[in-house]
Structure 1
Amino acid sequence: MDTANSLFSAAQWQHVLFAQSLLGTVLLTPDHRVHMQNETWQRLMENATAIDAASPDTAPPNTPHLYDLIPQAEKILGPLLERAWQGESVHQETVRLKRNGRIVYWDCQIIPLLRDGRVSHLLLLIDDNTRHIETKQYLSQQFADRTEKLHALYDVIAAATEAPDARATLNWSLERILDAVQCPAGAIQIINDFDEDADVEAVRLVAHVGLSSPMIDRLAYVPVDDAMIAPILSRDEILVISDHLAELHQIPHEGAHVGVPMQVRERIVGILSVFCPRRAHIWRNRVGLA
């Protein structure tokens, strides 16, 4: 692109290309210093210091270096800039960078500006595509989560139709849930308030996977007002409890407890418990598989 001095210095050209552009626009010198920039670029750089330059022929002193503003630019944008210095117009979509601890995605276009047949400056145009990419990633994750839930549901339905008894179905379902949430141990307890022979309302253990003997004994028959299960039965939501039982401290993989009230026709009929290491991070949407 051949450009005359008069074109570079035209106030109207600068106003349209820099001031009014919705793209982050910056003029780079041969040593990759920011010679001119617009407000959109300043916002991308989070209010970088304004640069007052009338033309490319009068560079202000101490202009910032692109690689100082964006530490990863030399590695990621460097090869693209080198191609532009060879006279090639470069367009690269979804360039992934890290800005102040946050991942951003830019669509970049680099245009070489020629003077006397040689590249004198580069025009770098940035379209911040972060929100679009994040939305796409979120929707993709939601789709994957929904698909996983459907697969889990189909598996449980299949087990219910093939298993010889309810206990086998519960054990298989529990194994499937633990695999989905990537936790080593769990249990299913059922409220026995329909049992006329029961003296007190309690929950009894009907299925378990990976539990230690002490924990099996602990969960075998528990009154509903017990400190371990009362908070779960009293609310209609997932409850994550870490380090709440002294006996759990001696068993590493049972250090944290996630309790899920099990409902049938809007009535709580039992508890699904998932146990994992105390420092494990359990994704709430994965626990929702239960």
Structure 2
Amino acid sequence: MALVIQSGAKPHRIHVKSWVPSIIMLMSDNDLRDLLVQQSEGILSLGGARMALVDVEAGFWGIRRQIEALIGPGLTNSVFQQAGANGGASFAQTFTSAENLSGATAFSACLQVYQQAGFGHFEMTTIDWPIGRICIRADQAFEAWMISQHNQHCTAPCCAYTAGVLVGFVNIITGRNDVVCIEHTCQSQGDAFCQFELLPAADARDQTVVALLPDPGIGLRLNLLEMLFERMPMGIAIIDRDYRVQRYNPTWADYTHRYASSLGARLVPGVYYFDHMPGTESTVKPLYDRALSGETVRQNSVRLDSKDIITYWDVVLTPLVEKGEVVGLLTVSVDATERVAAQQNLEQRVEERTRELQMLLDVAATANSSLDLDETLMKTLDLLVELIDASRAGVGLIDEDTGQLRLNILRPERTVHPADAGRMLQAGRMVIDSGEILSIEADISQGLLEPGVLLPLQVRDKRLGILGIIGQKGGAFTPAQLNLFKSIADQLGIAIENAQLFEKAEAAAIAAERNRLARDLHDAVTQTLFSASMIADVLPIIWDKNHDQGMLRLEELRQLTRGALSEMRTLLVELRPAALVDTDLGDLIGHQVNAFIARTRIQVKYERNCAQNPPTIVKEMLYRVAQEALSNIAKHAEAKTVWIKLDSQTGKTELVIQDDGVGFDLDSAKSYGLGLGIMAERAHHVGAQFNIRSQIHDGTRLQVIWQEPNDKEHNDD
């Protein structure tokens, strides 16, 4: 049996057996024997402390084994060291006050009482007071003794309760809270004795220590905290109202070792947080103050900058409340540095990619803004130089006739030495043949002051040339830039091919138009002029022989020349559509009539009353309908006379074309070859009425009426 002293707020008395006096007599120290007295039969009293008789081996060992089964050895030591610290602090407060003891004497007396209570034999081998360092050698300290009694062996010191008691003694006696205890050796590990060292936390360095937690409100939560979060992958710490770190779990300590500035104070229990993490006060203190005011704070990606060490944290701060008063805060932190860095990296990559895509869109838009090849190349290269901050850029294209690569354009313009141009074109030919990018890094030793890259310009399997880009002096192109250049080269290749195809199409269109004009001139004007020339040749002879016949031939010559002139004007309308807008509708149809007469020698009676021209779109429709109708008459009608009437007034225009030809059956399939559908479609497109009437052997009558809609109808539409 052993005597165990436990803390209490006021004196307690415990009933024990009649052998209590014998126990008292076993205590060798006279002063202690005087303190421990039998007040009455079966009742012990020791100042303000209560006492009990327990079986150390059965009691503490049983409790320890049960706790270990629940939370493991590590947390069990934490539970016992805190219990010891609380008990030692309470006993020292009561005992030293009752006996009016202080300093080293008080500590020695407390240690002697602890020894006399049966917790082992203790000897102070070093004492540097006021506390600088105290070394205590213990034999049969009760935790180590329990381990040996049960044939157990520990891999680490196990006297957590005793270390806690010693910390409680010394901090209360000295009025401090930063003295910690280190157990260097332990009999449970096979050492000759248990060696304890008491010293300020700042001198403990990185060794495992037992510290005092004097605030009872915080102390009540400590063991539960450690049991719940000792092995959690998040940093957990308790901060008191003075912003001092009272306790922390291993993850918090790991965070500190990983990120704390070397200029900050070392992490030990009781360290002022902002000394430990200098530079974070402006960010952290407002959050702590909110928690200390009773608010639960949740915030993600909190940025901490401690002497240029930047980290990010997801934090939850919870106030610790005891009897209605906030006594501190619990901080739970998750390291979000890698996540935020990954997110920032992703955002940066997205921003860069967006910028690259926008650059590519700008280049593509510029490259396709014109079908003129020279203009396309100049604008695109100027934009490219500006966007990528290049020194210059150029394009070389393969001559389709000779197959030779030649330098087409360089922006900004500058004179290129023939030797340099030759080397570049030679390298460009290699790039074209291989289809691969050639990147040339700047190399001062070889006279290359700027980085350069040559890219093939090709569309599908068609090789067009090369794109060359020269960077700034001392610069370098990144892989991302090279990929961007390749995309730009692809877009530029498409634009170049389009421009070349347009040039070819334009040349082909010009040639086709020239051929059409040649045919039209041959079929119409040339033949008319030839007929006029023949009449002019024989007209003097006819005039001499028969004056009346000469007058007829002269009139025919006049009609032919007028027809030739009208044919030319009609061709000009086709070549220059603006003439259709500028010319009066009556004159336009009149030119067609004269040309028709000259070609067909069919009599035409043209009646016109064109007081007001209709809108241009209507004018063009009537011009095309008249053109198609006269063409049909010339080809199919076999008419002798054609009547044309044009009446154009403000808001209304009517065109009637009638012939005395063979006519046709409107229901016959042949009518589809006369362009009637096209004429009707043109009329309906501008909102005009299109009417046609024809019978076999009774000619054909075509009527088109356009009337400007009134405002109401227009609005309804």
Q: What TM-score, normalized by structure 2, do the two folds share? A: 0.31
SS at match of 1:276: coil
For 1:275, the aligned partner's letter is: G
Tell me, yes or no, if the aligned pair for 2:367 and 2:376 is still in contact at 8 Å.
Answer: yes
Of 42, 49, 58, the residue aligned with 2:253 is 42
Following TM superposition, by how much is the alpha carbon of 1:149 offset from its aligned partner in structure 2, in angstroms? 3.6
SS at match of 1:223: helix
Q: Which residue of 1 aligns with 2:220?
A: 7
CA distance in 2, matches of 1:103, 1:218: 55
Q: Which has the larger radius of gyration?
A: 2
SS at match of 1:222: helix
Q: For structure 2, which runs of at least 5 residues remain unmatched after alignment? A: 1-215, 261-266, 486-717
Following TM superposition, by how much is the alpha carbon of 1:116 offset from its aligned partner in structure 2, in angstroms? 3.9
Identity over aligned pairs, percent: 23
Tell me, yes or no, if the aligned pair for 2:428 and 2:466 is still in contact at 8 Å.
Answer: no
> Which runs of structure 2 are paired with 1:26-105 in the superposition (5 Å)?
26-46=237-257, 63-98=270-305, 103-105=310-312
Deviations 1:227-280 (A, max 9, x none): x989988894573623537767xxxxxx532424235358794242132142x5
Change (3 A) 1:126 1:61: closer
Q: Is 2:410 aligned against 1:208?
A: yes
Tell me, yes or no, if the aligned pair for 2:279 and 2:306 is still in contact at 8 Å.
Answer: no
Alpha-carbon RMSD across the aligned residues, in angstroms, is: 4.0
Following TM superposition, by how much is the alpha carbon of 1:163 offset from its aligned partner in structure 2, in angstroms? 1.9
Following TM superposition, by how much is the alpha carbon of 1:191 offset from its aligned partner in structure 2, in angstroms? 6.7
- Bigger relative contact order, structure 1 or 2, given CA contacts below 8 A and separation 6+? 1
Change (3 A) 1:70 1:192: farther
Number of residue pairs matched?
261
CA distance in 2, matches of 1:147, 1:61: 48
> Which runs of structure 2 are paired with 1:127-206 in the superposition (5 Å)?
127-181=334-388, 183-190=389-396, 196=402, 204-206=406-408
CA distance in 1, matches of 2:312, 2:306: 10
Q: Which residue of 1 aligns with 2:466?
A: 270
Q: Which residue of 2 aligns with 1:289?
A: 484
Structure (1/2) with the larger helix percentage: 2
Tell me, yes or no, if the aligned pair for 1:232 and 1:239 is still in contact at 8 Å.
Answer: no
Following TM superposition, by how much is the alpha carbon of 1:144 offset from its aligned partner in structure 2, in angstroms? 3.2
CA distance in 2, matches of 1:120, 1:72: 25
Tell me, yes or no, if the aligned pair for 1:29 and 1:120 is still in contact at 8 Å.
Answer: yes
Structure (1/2) with the larger strand percentage: 1
SS at match of 2:376: helix
Tell me, yes or no, if the aligned pair for 2:406 and 2:425 is still in contact at 8 Å.
Answer: no
For 1:190, the aligned partner's letter is: G
SS at match of 1:46: helix
Following TM superposition, by how much is the alpha carbon of 1:36 offset from its aligned partner in structure 2, in angstroms? 1.5
Following TM superposition, by how much is the alpha carbon of 1:92 offset from its aligned partner in structure 2, in angstroms? 2.0
CA distance in 2, matches of 1:29, 1:289: 56
For 1:207, the aligned partner's letter is: I
CA distance in 2, matches of 1:77, 1:232: 59
CA distance in 1, matches of 2:440, 2:249: 49
Change (3 A) 1:150 1:134: same
Tell me, yes or no, if the aligned pair for 1:27 and 1:123 is still in contact at 8 Å.
Answer: yes
Tell me, yes or no, if the aligned pair for 2:280 and 2:306 is still in contact at 8 Å.
Answer: no
Tell me, yes or no, if the aligned pair for 1:45 and 1:69 is still in contact at 8 Å.
Answer: no
CA distance in 1, matches of 2:312, 2:285: 16
Following TM superposition, by how much is the alpha carbon of 1:128 offset from its aligned partner in structure 2, in angstroms? 2.0
Tell me, yes or no, if the aligned pair for 1:113 and 1:120 is still in contact at 8 Å.
Answer: yes
